Chains A and B, each alone.
Chain A
């Protein structure tokens, strides 16, 4: 049974060859005229400025987490929608329960103010964001780059 892994091994070897051979071929055949522009790191068309080890705004991570939750939800919804007619009412109830559980998560992040990027008018001005205050635009270059205008919010509990 486990000898079937031999097939996988051969598959891996062929896979490596298929990548390595064209690369080798173009290294031999293609002309190579290097200019500074060609040698820069590709960064989606942007100028590559500075190192990669800059401080990111922590809110990016929150947004990413929220995205993952609803991304997974959609992934589950597609196959469910495809076979929906055969499964009938039971599947409908099951999916509604799943969505209800997820919407508890949505209510949670909403109430905690994590859906607002700029937190001027947090209705939830208590608790976690109680100590937020608005300060004149100054230091963090990163925050400025993000495209925030005029002023920036600094969490005094951490800074």
Chain B
């Protein structure tokens, strides 16, 4: 479709774009104390975009803007994930005390910019679009991570993020250029055909290019060995941003990863066994399986030693990236299904855990787990919900986390005996993670004096807590609507069959 015809199907993105522009102008007319109101503008714009997205055709599969963006159910479900996560984070940000001191107008605008970038990330099928969308997300995230200008920790987070980001996107860009040099086109599906025509010629270049591109994706989803930025950035950034970075851009990274390798080395349709044959010489499935195994092991083992809740959740998010990555090596539809399902579940439990941490930090002024003692009695609501999110992150029934993990392991087991070891490894890791998640619960309920104070958050935070808490429980017992939705979304834009 040409540019003009595409606009009709690009309305959600256009709404977000206009929201950004309007919100920037609106910010100029608010004083510092009132600048949080820009958040409402952005909130309204994103809600509108979500409604329009909901009204779009669920089954439409086409390409926009001269084959640089794909419109398909796969990108649609991810767009919902991004917009939902952003709406939650905007409300969380309005409640976070650390952001009360600074001017937050640009903060909300930048969040909207990240959403736009992630929308493009989930749907790009052109190397240039891939790179530009990643950069839009990254650059806005750099600023958001360093938003507390007067705090050294925040500056450090931003600077480390920039340096790692520049380095890994440089490496990825080199990989992309090798791919372009090898095939002479930037469209993913044309590259796929060109690779098939190469017949193994230039295989070494292809392998190098793939590894380099993996570095860029690995950085976005913080998989080992590209994870080093994660703990420092997560600790230094404002807490709502930490929550956001650990969910939304990570989901976007996975969306891009799935689409990229699916359309490049697969048949173009959802993964089928026996794909990736165009890459001889290296057992790719095993390589990604090992990366997933190391990622979850490192995340879990280092999380045990953390004393700061943000750092703990940072390492646990590395571990969860490892779990989600388990869906790729089996190269099956089940695997992708399990990954998307887990990302949806992870959104609720991770954001929920962070929101409880924010409320505790607002009220009790601490991020140290040791000082959480007795909070289970001082504020039963926060205590119980934190326990729920911790159970869910561990994967204990009847929470949503259990169902998510179950789908992942089931996909691995169904994928044949060669990945039984990974499934067992994943279960063992869940046991390790039980220790540090339960330590928080133990400190909250079994340490410190247990006099009742009964701190109840006000109406809006309580509602938001329920919005996180209820799905975490509900999807643990009644998950088929979500599973069906994900199942129906596994339709990719395909050229070659």
Contact = CB atoms under 8 A, between A and B. Distances in A.
A111 B26 CA distance: 12
Contacts of A112: 28
Interface string B187-218: 00000000000100110010000000000000
A126 to B, nearest CB: 6
Given A1-B182, A2-B201, A5-B181, A90 B32 contact: no
B21 A108 contact: no
Interface string A127-150: 110000000000000000000000
Interface string B418-454: 0000000000000000000000000000000000000
A83 interface: no
A107 interface: yes
A19 interface: no
Interface string A54-75: 0000000000000000000000
B198 A1 contact: yes
A49 interface: no
B32 A127 contact: yes
Interface in B25-54: 25, 28, 31-32
B32 A126 contact: yes
Nearest to B183: A1
A9 B377 CA distance: 71
B198 A128 contact: no
A90 B5 CA distance: 12
A20 interface: no
Contact of B103 (A90, A104, A128, A157): A128
Interface size class of B (residues with CB under 8 A): 10 to 19
B24 A104 contact: yes
Interface string B145-176: 00000100000000000000000000000000
A94 B183 CA distance: 32
B32 A2 contact: no
Given A90-B4, A104-B21, A2 B28 contact: no
**Interface SS of chain A: helix, strand, loop or mixed?**
helix
Contacts of B365: none
A101 interface: yes
A2 B103 contact: no
A126 B33 CA distance: 11
B184 A127 contact: no
B31 A127 contact: yes
Interface string A62-100: 000000000000000000000000000010000000000
A78 B25 CA distance: 28
B171 to A, nearest CB: 19
Nearest to A108: B24
Given A126-B31, A127-B32, A128-B103, A1 B201 contact: yes
A61 to B, nearest CB: 14
* Residue of A2, A104, A112 with most chain B CB atoms under a 10 A cut-off: A2
A67 to B, nearest CB: 18
B28 A111 contact: yes
A101 B21 contact: yes
A110 B47 CA distance: 30
Contacts of B150: 157
Contacts of B31: 126-127
Nearest to A90: B4
A3 B133 CA distance: 32
Contacts of B4: 90
A2 B28 CA distance: 53
Contact of A104 (B25, B183, B184): B25
Contacts of B183: 1
B214 to A, nearest CB: 20
A1 B24 contact: no
B202 A1 contact: yes
B191 to A, nearest CB: 12
B24 A2 contact: no
A73 B182 CA distance: 32
Contacts of B184: 1
Contacts of A107: 25, 28
Nearest to A8: B181
Contacts of B32: 126-127
Interface string B96-117: 0000000100000000000000
B90 to A, nearest CB: 21
A108 B357 CA distance: 35
Contact of B181 (A2, A101, A108): A2
A5 B103 CA distance: 52
7 contacts: A1-B201, A2-B181, A2-B205, A112-B28, A127-B31, A127-B103, A128-B103
Given A2-B181, A127-B31, 13 more contacts: A1-B182, A1-B183, A1-B202, A2-B182, A2-B201, A90-B4, A104-B24, A107-B25, A108-B24, A111-B28, A126-B31, A127-B32, A127-B103
